C-alpha cells in the first residue's frame, strides 16, 4: 500500500499538470478569440475613419455664391449624418477596448525576442494588450479629429453663407440706389446752358445730392469689407459675384467722378461768371480795350487797336496822368494828400463809412491780418463793399468799374509784381485809409489790427502796420519826403511815448499820431484837404484876387491883411516883385472873430521879431523821425506811374542830407530823433493850420507846419558849406588812396597754385580788384552828390544874401509907416507921443542891435516936424545909450 501510494502520487501530479495545461490552453484560446475580434473591430474603425478623413479632405473648397454654398452644406450635412450614425459602434468598440485593457493591463516594457525562442502565454497576452491599446488610441484620435473637422467646416459654411447672403442683398440695394443716382446725373443740364443767377442754386443742389449718397458710400464700403473678410477665410467670390461687385465699384467711382466734375464746373463757372467772379468786370472797359486774366487770376488789359497790354486799367492810367498836374505843388505832404484825394474820389471810397468796411470784413471773415488773400477773395470783398454802398446810399454805383479800379490800385500799392497775393492787413489798410471816417477812428481801428488780446502791440507788429501804411505814398513816388521806406525810426519814435516798455497801448499810439509824425503826416493832411473842399472864406486872395477863397486859406502872420488861396500858396505863386512873408496860418474852416484877434496879436509880435528868432525857435507841423537815405530805384514800384520830382527842392531832399542835420540841431526836443540823412523839402515852411477842435481850448497847441528853407541863417549855411567842403576833401583823399591801392594790386598780380581754383575761376587778386572798383564807384557817386549839394547851397546862399540886403533897405524905409498902420488898426487914429515912444521902446527888443542907430536917424527926420524937441532928444539918447550898452 505504501508502494502504491508512492506510485499514485506522481501520477496524480501528472494528471494535475495535464488538467492545468488543458485549462490554460482553453483560456488562451478564449483570450485569443476575444482579442482578435477586438483588434479586427478597431482596425476596421481606423480604416473607416481614415477613409472618411480623406473623403472630407477631398471635398471642394467652399464656393463663392449662395447656391454653391447651400449645395455644399447639404452634402456636408449628409456626410456628418453618416459619421454621426457610425458613432455608437465606435464608442462601443472603444469601451470594449477600455474594458479589455482593464482586465489585461500591461506594465512591462516591450521586449524583443531572439529567434528560436518560444513566447510564453503571459508574454503573448501582454503583446496583445499593447496592440489593442495602440489601436484604441489611434481610433480615438481619428474620431475626434474627424468630428472636429466636420464641425469646423460646417461652421465655416454657415458663416460664409451668411456673408454671401448679406453681400447679395446689399448689392441688390446698391444697384437700385446707383440706378436712381445715375438717373439724377443723366438729368443734369450742361453747365453752359445754365443761367448765371442759378449757378449757386445748382452748386447747393449738387452738394446736397453728394451728401445724400453718403449711405451708398457706406454700403459700398461694407460690401468690400465683407468680400475682403471672405478672401481672408480662403473663400473667393464666384465669377458672377466678383463681376457684379466690380461693376458696382466702377459705377460708384464713375458717379463720384461725375459729381466732383460737376461741382468743379459749377464752382468754376460761378467763380468766372457768377456775381462774385471776374466775368462781370469785363464791362469795366470799353472797345478797343479788353480785360484779360492771367493764370494767377490777376487782371491785365489788352488794347486791340494799339496791340499792347498793360497791368493798369485804362481809367487808372488816365487818373495817373491827371495826377501829374499836381506835381507843381511845392509841399510834398499836400501834394501826396491831394493825389490821394483824387484817387479816393475816383474809387468812390470817400462815400464808404468805416462801419460799412468793418461789417464787410466780418462777413468775408477777414480777421487775421497776416493771412494772405488772392485776387478772387479781394474781388469778393470789394464787390460786397460797393453793393453795400449802393444799398446804403441809395445811389447808382458802377460796381464793375469801381471794383476793377480799386483792385488795380490795391495791386499797384501792395502787389506791384502781380503775384496775385496780398495780406489781409494790406487790404484793410488801403481801404481804411481812403474811407470816409474821422482820422482818430482810423487810428484806433488800424491799431486794433496789430494789437494782441490785451490791447497791446510790440515793435514788430507796429513796424508791420507802418510798413503797410508807407506803401501808399511810396506808390505815388513821394516816400522820400516822409522818411523813406524804413519804418524802424518811426517805430522807435512811437515807443518813446512809453519808455522802457516792450509794448504800447492805443493811447500811446494816438498821442504819437497826434504829433503828426513825418512818416504819417500825409494822412491828417488828406483829411484837412477833404474838409477844406467845401469851405468858403470871405476874403480876397492877395495874389490872384480871387474872392471868396475856396478851400484852404493862408493868412500871413508877418503882414497885415494878406490872405492867399490854396492854389497860389501851394504852387508858390506871388505878386510881381513881392514875396510872401512867413510864418503862415492855414485855415480849412471859416475863421471866427477870436481867431482873427489871435492872428492879429501874433502878427504884431512877429513884426518885431528878427530872423534870428525864427531860426532859434523853429516850429514844425510834424514830428521828424530818423530815416535812411534810399536809392531812387527803390522808392517807386514798377507798376506805379512815373511821377517826376516836382521842383528843385524835391531833389534837394534826396541829396542834401547834411542840411537836414543842421536843421535838426535847431530842434531841442527831437534832436536825437534826427539824422544827417533826413530828407526834407519845401514843407519846412513855418506854417500853422487852424483846427476848430483845438482853437478854443489851447491856441498855443496849434500844429506848426514845416519851416521854410529860405529863412536859414547865412552863417549856418556857410558852416554847412564848409563842413561839406571838408567832407569832400576827405572823400577825395580816400578816393586817391583807393585808386593808388588798386593800381598797386594791378601791377603786382597775385600767383595762385596750379589747379586750385579750377578752370575759369576768379583769382583772389581779381576779386579784390572788383571790390576796389565797386568801392571807387560808390565814392565817385558820393563825390558827385556832394558837389551837387555844394553847388545848390552856394546858389541858395547868394540868393539869400541879395534877399537879406533888400529886406534891410525896405525895413529902414517902411518902419514908421508900419508903426502908424499898427496904431491905426489898434486905435483908429494917429499915434500919440506916448504910444509912439512905447512902440519905439518895444522895437528895441525885437530888432537887431546894429539897426537901431539907423532907425533912430530915420525917426528923427520923420518926427522933427511935429514933436517937441525934448521928446526927440530923449528918444534918441535912449536908443544910443542902449546901442553903447550892446
Q: What is the pLDDT of residue 506?
A: 92
Determine the Cα angle at 857 with ends 853 and 860, to 5°: 135
Question: What topology does CATH give the domain 13-108+121-262?
Answer: Methane Monooxygenase Hydroxylase; Chain G, domain 1 (1.20.58)
Taking CA atoms, 290 is separated from 308, 316, 402, in Å, by: 11, 14, 16
500: region left, alpha or beta (phi > 0 left; psi from -120 to 50 alpha) = left
Question: Which of these, 383, 412, 419, lies nearest to 319 by C-alpha position?
Answer: 412
For the chain, give every domain's residue range: 13-108+121-262, 293-499, 529-710, 713-746+769-829, 832-886
Decide: residue 418, CB within 10 A, 0-12 exposed, 13-18 middle, 19+ buried: middle
C-beta separation of 546 from 565 below 8 A: yes
DSSP reduced 3-state for 584: strand
Q: What is the pLDDT of residue 436?
A: 92
pLDDT (tens digit, 9 = 90+) per residue, 416-428? 889 989 999 999 9
How many Cα atoms are found within 13 Å in the side-chain-facing hemisphere of 802?
Answer: 5
DSSP reduced 3-state for 705: strand
How many Cα atoms are found within 13 Å in the side-chain-facing hemisphere of 527?
Answer: 18
If you compute the radius of gyration of the chain from its CA atoms, what whole number of angstroms results? 55
C-alpha to C-alpha distance for 199 and 61, rounded to whole angstroms: 56
| Regions of the chain with pLDDT less than 50 | 28, 112-117, 627-686, 691-713, 748-764, 822-823, 825-827, 833-835, 837-838, 841-842, 844-850, 862-871, 882-884, 886
Q: What is the pLDDT of residue 704?
A: 34
C-alpha to C-alpha distance for 61 and 147, rounded to whole angstroms: 18
How many Cα atoms are found within 13 Å in the side-chain-facing hemisphere of 132?
Answer: 29
| Other CB atoms within 10 Å distance of the CB of residue 610 | 12
Take residue 659 and report the three cell numbers written for it: 542840411
C-alpha to C-alpha distance for 427 and 407, rounded to whole angstroms: 10
C-beta separation of 334 from 570 below 8 A: yes
CATH number of 293-499: 1.10.238.10
pLDDT (tens digit, 9 = 90+) per residue, 444-461? 999 999 988 888 999 999
C-alpha to C-alpha distance for 779 and 770, rounded to whole angstroms: 14
pTM of the model: 0.51
Looking at the DSSP bridge assignments, the partners of residue 423 are 372
Amino acid at each position: 500500500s505504501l508502494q502504491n501510494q508512492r506510485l499514485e502520487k506522481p501520477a496524480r501530479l501528472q494528471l494535475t499538470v495535464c488538467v492545468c495545461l488543458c485549462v490554460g490552453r482553453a483560456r488562451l484560446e478564449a483570450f485569443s478569440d476575444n482579442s482578435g475580434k477586438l483588434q479586427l473591430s478597431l482596425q476596421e474603425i481606423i480604416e473607416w475613419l481614415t477613409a472618411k478623413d480623406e473623403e472630407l479632405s477631398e471635398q471642394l473648397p467652399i464656393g463663392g455664391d449662395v447656391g454653391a454654398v447651400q449645395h455644399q452644406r447639404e452634402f456636408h450635412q449628409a456626410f456628418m449624418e453618416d459619421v454621426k450614425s457610425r458613432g455608437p459602434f465606435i464608442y462601443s468598440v472603444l469601451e470594449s477596448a477600455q474594458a479589455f485593457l482593464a482586465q489585461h493591463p500591461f506594465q512591462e516594457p516591450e521586449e524583443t525576442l531572439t529567434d528560436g525562442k518560444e513566447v510564453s502565454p503571459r508574454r503573448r497576452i501582454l503583446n496583445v494588450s499593447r496592440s489593442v491599446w495602440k489601436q484604441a488610441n489611434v481610433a480615438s484620435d481619428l474620431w475626434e479629429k474627424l468630428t472636429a473637422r466636420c464641425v469646423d467646416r460646417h461652421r465655416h459654411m454657415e458663416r460664409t453663407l451668411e456673408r454671401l447672403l448679406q453681400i447679395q442683398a446689399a448689392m441688390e440695394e446698391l444697384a437700385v440706389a446707383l440706378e436712381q443716382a445715375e438717373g439724377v446725373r443723366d438729368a443734369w443740364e450742361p453747365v453752359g446752358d445754365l443761367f448765371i443767377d442759378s449757378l449757386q442754386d445748382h452748386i447747393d443742389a449738387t452738394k446736397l445730392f453728394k451728401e445724400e449718397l453718403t449711405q451708398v458710400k457706406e454700403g459700398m464700403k461694407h460690401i468690400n469689407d465683407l468680400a475682403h473678410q471672405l478672401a481672408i477665410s480662403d473663400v473667393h467670390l464666384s465669377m458672377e459675384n466678383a463681376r457684379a461687385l466690380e461693376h458696382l465699384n466702377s459705377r460708384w467711382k464713375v458717379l463720384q467722378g461725375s459729381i466732383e466734375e460737376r461741382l468743379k464746373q459749377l464752382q468754376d463757372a460761378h467763380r468766372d461768371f457768377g456775381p462774385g467772379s471776374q466775368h462781370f468786370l469785363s464791362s469795366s472797359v470799353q472797345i478797343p480795350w479788353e480785360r484779360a486774366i492771367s493764370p494767377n487770376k490777376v487782371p491785365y488789359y489788352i488794347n486791340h487797336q494799339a496791340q499792347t497790354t498793360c497791368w493798369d486799367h485804362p481809367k487808372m492810367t488816365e487818373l495817373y496822368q491827371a495826377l501829374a498836374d499836381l506835381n507843381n505843388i511845392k509841399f510834398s505832404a499836400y501834394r501826396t494828400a491831394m493825389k490821394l484825394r483824387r484817387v479816393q474820389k475816383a474809387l468812390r471810397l470817400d462815400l464808404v463809412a468805416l462801419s460799412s468796411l468793418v461789417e464787410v470784413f466780418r462777413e468775408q471773415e477777414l480777421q487775421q491780418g497776416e493771412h494772405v488773400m488772392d485776387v478772387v477773395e479781394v474781388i469778393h470783398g470789394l464787390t460786397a463793399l460797393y453793393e453795400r454802398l449802393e444799398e446804403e446810399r441809395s445811389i447808382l454805383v458802377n460796381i464793375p468799374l469801381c471794383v476793377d479800379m480799386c483792385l488795380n490800385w490795391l495791386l499797384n500799392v501792395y502787389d506791384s509784381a502781380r503775384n496775385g497775393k496780398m495780406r489781409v492787413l494790406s487790404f484793410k489798410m488801403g481801404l481804411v485809409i481812403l474811407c470816409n471816417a474821422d482820422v482818430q477812428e482810423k487810428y484806433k481801428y488800424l491799431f486794433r489790427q496789430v494789437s494782441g488780446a490785451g490791447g497791446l502791440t510790440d515793435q514788430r507788429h507796429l513796424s508791420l502796420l507802418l510798413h503797410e501804411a508807407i506803401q501808399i505814398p511810396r506808390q505815388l513816388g513821394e516816400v522820400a519826403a516822409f522818411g523813406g521806406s524804413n519804418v524802424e525810426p518811426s517805430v522807435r519814435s512811437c515807443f518813446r511815448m512809453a519808455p522802457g516798455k516792450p509794448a504800447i497801448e492805443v493811447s500811446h499810439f494816438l498821442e504819437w499820431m497826434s504829433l503828426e509824425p513825418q512818416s504819417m503826416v500825409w494822412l491828417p493832411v488828406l483829411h484837412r484837404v477833404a474838409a477844406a473842399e467845401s469851405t468858403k472864406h470871405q476874403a480876397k486872395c492877395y495874389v490872384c484876387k480871387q474872392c471868396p477863397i475856396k478851400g484852404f486859406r493862408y493868412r500871413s502872420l508877418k503882414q497885415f491883411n494878406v490872405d492867399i488861396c490854396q492854389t497860389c500858396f501851394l504852387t508858390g505863386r506871388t505878386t510881381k516883385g513881392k514875396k510872401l512873408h512867413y510864418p503862415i496860418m492855414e485855415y480849412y474852416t471859416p475863421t471866427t472873430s477870436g481867431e482873427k484877434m489871435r492872428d492879429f496879436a501874433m502878427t504884431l509880435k512877429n513884426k518885431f521879431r528878427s530872423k534870428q528868432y525864427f531860426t532859434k525857435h523853429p516850429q514844425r507841423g510834424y514830428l521828424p523821425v530818423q530815416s535812411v537815405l534810399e536809392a531812387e530805384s527803390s522808392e517807386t514800384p514798377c507798376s506805379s506811374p512815373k511821377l517826376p520830382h516836382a521842383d528843385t527842392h524835391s531833389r534837394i531832399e534826396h541829396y542834401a542830407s547834411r542840411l537836414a542835420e543842421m536843421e535838426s540841431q535847431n530842434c531841442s526836443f527831437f534832436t536825437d530823433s534826427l539824422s544827417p540823412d533826413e530828407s526834407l523839402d519845401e514843407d519846412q515852411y513855418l506854417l500853422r493850420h487852424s483846427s476848430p477842435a483845438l482853437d478854443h481850448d489851447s491856441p498855443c497847441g496849434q500844429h506848426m507846419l514845416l519851416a521854410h528853407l529860405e529863412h536859414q541863417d547865412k552863417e549856418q549855411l556857410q558852416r554847412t558849406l564848409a563842413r561839406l567842403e571838408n567832407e569832400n576833401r576827405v572823400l577825395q583823399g580816400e578816393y586817391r588812396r583807393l585808386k593808388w591801392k588798386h593800381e598797386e594790386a594791378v601791377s603786382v598780380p597775385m600767383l595762385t597754385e596750379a589747379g586750385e581754383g579750377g578752370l575759369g575761376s576768379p583769382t583772389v587778386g581779381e576779386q579784390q580788384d572788383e571790390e576796389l572798383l565797386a568801392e571807387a564807384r560808390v565814392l565817385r557817386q558820393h563825390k558827385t552828390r556832394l558837389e551837387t549839394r555844394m553847388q545848390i547851397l552856394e546858389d541858395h546862399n547868394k540868393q539869400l544874401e541879395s534877399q537879406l540886403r533888400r529886406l534891410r533897405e525896405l525895413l529902414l524905409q517902411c518902419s514908421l509907416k508900419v508903426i502908424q498902420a499898427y496904431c491905426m488898426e489898434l486905435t483908429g487914429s494917429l499915434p500919440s507921443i506916448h504910444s509912439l515912444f512905447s512902440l519905439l521902446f518895444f522895437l528895441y527888443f525885437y530888432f537887431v542891435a546894429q539897426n537901431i542907430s539907423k532907425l533912430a536917424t530915420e525917426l528923427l527926420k520923420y518926427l522933427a516936424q511935429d514933436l517937441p524937441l525934448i521928446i526927440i532928444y530923449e528918444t534918441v539918447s535912449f536908443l544910443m545909450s542902449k546901442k553903447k550898452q550892446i
